[in-house]
Each structure stands twice: as C-alpha cells, then as structure tokens.
Amino acid sequence: MNESVFDLNTPIQGLHDYFGFPVYLKRDDLIHPFISGNKWRKLKYNILAAREQGFSGICTFGGAYSNHLIAVACACACAGLRSIGFVRGDELKEDSNFVLRLCDEFGMELRFLTREDYRAKKEAVKSDHIPGYLVVPEGGANWEGILGCEEIFDDEPAQLGITDIVCAVGTATTFCGLIRSFAPKIRVHGIAVMRGAGYLEDFIRANCPDDPDNWILHEAFCRKGFGKSDPQLLEEMRRFSRSTGILLDPVYTGKMIMAIPQMRESGLFAGDRVLALHSGGLTGLLSDRTQA
C-alpha cells in the first residue's frame, strides 16, 4: 500500500442555516466507507509501524458492532497485513451480524471470548505479545492513534476564525490529538458519549502535558450512556439528516450535534464560530443495537 493514501484532507461544510449561527462540520465521514473518519486517522501510524517493524499483521479488540474492528480488518487488507480480532461475546460467530460478517469478508480472524476472558485477554497481551502481530488497543487508543489525530486539520480553523472545536469522545484518543494541535489557540470541547467518563482526564493529561487546560470534557450530554439511544436523539438525527443530507450515528456524532445548541445557550463556547468533527462510524445507525 502506498503510504500517501493516508495523506488526505476532507472538506469542511457550513451548517449555519441549520444552527442559526456559524457552525462548520469537518467531513471525515467521507474518508472511506469502512475505514471511517477517526478510525482512519488512528490506524495510520499503527499500520505504518506494523509494516516498518516487520509484523505480519495486527491484532485488536472490539464489541459485536465495533466500527474499529471493521476498520482494522479493511485497513490490514489494504496494506497486505493479516488481522486478528478478539470479540467480546462467546455466543457470537462470524455471521451473527453485518459488522462481523464484513470483518470476516476482509479476512480478519475472529476469536470470540466471554466478557470475563475478554477483559483478561486485553490485560494479558500488554505483556505477552502475540508472535508476528502488532497489538493495537481497543478503539485504536495508543500514541500512534493520537499522532494520526493531530493531523485531522491543516490551517482551516485559523482561516475560518474558529473559536471552538467540538468532537465526540469515546477513548479520548481523537480528543487528545485535537488538544495537542490547537490548545491554547482554540478551545477544544469533548462530548463524552458514556457515563462516568471523568476517568479519561488522567489519559488526556498524560498525553497532553504541555496544554494550558484550554479544553473541556463535557459529561452532561451522554444521554442514556454508551451505545444507548432514545427517541429524542433519534428524532434529532433524522431532522439533521433530512435538513443537511449528512448521516449521523447514535453512539457518537448524534450526541455531539445535539449538544452544540445546548452548549451555546449555556455560554460554554469561547466565541461564536464553532467547528465540529464528523468522526464517521455510521455502522451504529445501520444496526438494531448500537454498540461500538
């Protein structure tokens, strides 16, 4: 695979008519149908590291509806690498849902574990590597992932006079990349998609030691919690899609878009020009369960 495939820029689209104030959306959802959005960014340096260090493949972890697993399976296929996915749920098999079916189609070896064994395996591989495989944490949450997310924007925020950047936060890898890129020039907001996400602040501070705290992790917009939707959220997503032609997912980007007007009303923005990141990952919208 030509490394230049990772060097790309995606368009920024104005949403002023929808929100009634200057809001822009970085369309990383357009990067690739399966290596979507921030998954592409987080895998860039992991794929390059695997090839440079002579690994034959990548192994990683994910749930039954994991965007990350699909992205790893497809990216490895593109790069000529093998892939192993440890999947949470020993009752599952390759054709249990369309996500796992796609992983299998891309050649990923799926290994199904009980919830307890899954947690133990994630801990075990930190010290006991799988021969021939680079281990990438669940969600791509490592230093290589952060480096890739530092490259999401070029100089567009400065050109647009952006005062605030907003992204959805799961592992906080993307959030760290944005903080490292823009604080203190621009305030960076993370919309936590799970309850009790405060523990992520230790990870953020460990990977952004020089930032002046010009960032905020918002825990008030997670709705019912990770992987859970509700009628109001789904209706807002439909309204947005029918008004803009842009699809959202209920796990991440739907909550982020829904939070933006509430944040403005609460005076949480540093200014009046907001740039949001569409981090892709639309498989949650296509499934009857939204677990990533």
Asked if 11 and 74 sit in the same domain, the reply is no
Using only the alpha carbons of the chain, give its radius of gyration.
18
What is the pLDDT confidence band of residue 168, given thresholds at 50, 70 and 90?
very high
Asked if 177 and 265 sit in the same domain, the reply is yes
Q: What is the pLDDT of residues 96-149, one digit of tens each?
A: 999 999 999 999 999 999 999 999 988 888 656 789 999 999 999 999 999 999
Compute the distance between CA of residue 216 and CA of residue 201 in angstroms, rounded to an integer. Answer: 10
**Residue 287 pLDDT:** 63
**Residue 244 pLDDT:** 97
Asked if 164 and 26 sit in the same domain, the reply is yes
What is the pLDDT confidence band of residue 7, given thresholds at 50, 70 and 90?
low
291 falls within a domain: no
Asked whether residue 258 carries a pLDDT value surpassing 80, the answer given is yes
**Residue 123 pLDDT:** 85
Asked if 61 and 135 sit in the same domain, the reply is yes
**Which residues on adjacent β-strands are paired with residue 133?**
57
CA 223 to chain centre: 18
For residues 183 and 238, the model is more confident at 238
Average pLDDT over residues 8-28: 95
Contacts of 172 by beta carbon, 8 Å cutoff, 6+ apart: 141, 190, 200, 203, 204, 217
**Which residues on adjacent β-strands are paired with residue 57?**
82, 133
Token reading at 184? 């203190």
85 falls within a domain: yes
For residues 202, 250, 280, 66, the Cα torsion angle rounded to the nearest 10 degrees is 70
292 falls within a domain: no
Q: Which residue has the tokens 């979507």?
A: 36
Domain ranges, residue 196: 3-34+144-286
What is the pLDDT confidence band of residue 5, given thresholds at 50, 70 and 90?
low
- What residue type is 272 in one-letter code? D
Asked if 59 and 178 sit in the same domain, the reply is no
Q: What is the pLDDT of residues 174-224, one digit of tens each?
A: 999 999 999 788 999 999 999 999 999 999 999 998 877 899 999 999 987
CATH number for the domain spanning 197: value is 3.40.50.1100
User: Considering all CA atoms of the chain, what is the largest pairwise distance in Å, rounded to the nearest integer?
Assistant: 54
Contacts of 24 by beta carbon, 8 Å cutoff, 6+ apart: 12, 13, 14, 15, 160, 162, 273, 274, 275, 276
**Residue that terminates a domain, selected from 110, 142, 174:** 142
Compute the distance between CA of residue 53 and CA of residue 17 in angstroms, rounded to an integer. Answer: 49
Asked whether residue 291 carries a pLDDT value surpassing 50, the answer given is no
Compute the distance between CA of residue 222 and CA of residue 20 in angstroms, rounded to an integer. Answer: 23
DSSP string computed for 189-202? EEEE-STTGGGHHH
Asked if 120 and 148 sit in the same domain, the reply is no
**Residue that terminates a domain, selected from 95, 117, 142:** 142
Compute the distance between CA of residue 128 and CA of residue 95 in angstroms, rounded to an integer. Answer: 30
What is the 3-state composition of the chain as percent helix, strand, coil, each rounded to the nearest 5?
40, 15, 40
Q: What is the pLDDT of residues 47-81, one digit of tens each?
A: 999 999 999 999 999 999 999 999 999 999 999 99
Compute the distance between CA of residue 31 and CA of residue 27 in angstroms, rounded to an integer. Answer: 8
Q: Of the candidates 99, 140, 136, 93, which has an alpha carbon nearest to the alpha carbon of residue 112?
A: 93
Say how many domains are in the chain.
Answer: 2
Asked if 163 and 228 sit in the same domain, the reply is yes
**Helix H segments across 161-267?**
173-182, 200-207, 231-244, 253-265
Average pLDDT over residues 11-29: 97
Asked if 130 and 149 sit in the same domain, the reply is no
**Residue that terminates a domain, selected from 104, 120, 142:** 142
Asked if 97 and 59 sit in the same domain, the reply is yes
56 falls within a domain: yes
Asked if 120 and 48 sit in the same domain, the reply is yes
Token reading at 17? 């008519």
Asked if 15 and 152 sit in the same domain, the reply is yes
Q: What is the pLDDT of residues 277-286, one digit of tens each?
A: 999 987 767 6
Compute the distance between CA of residue 250 and CA of residue 263 in angstroms, rounded to an integer. Answer: 19
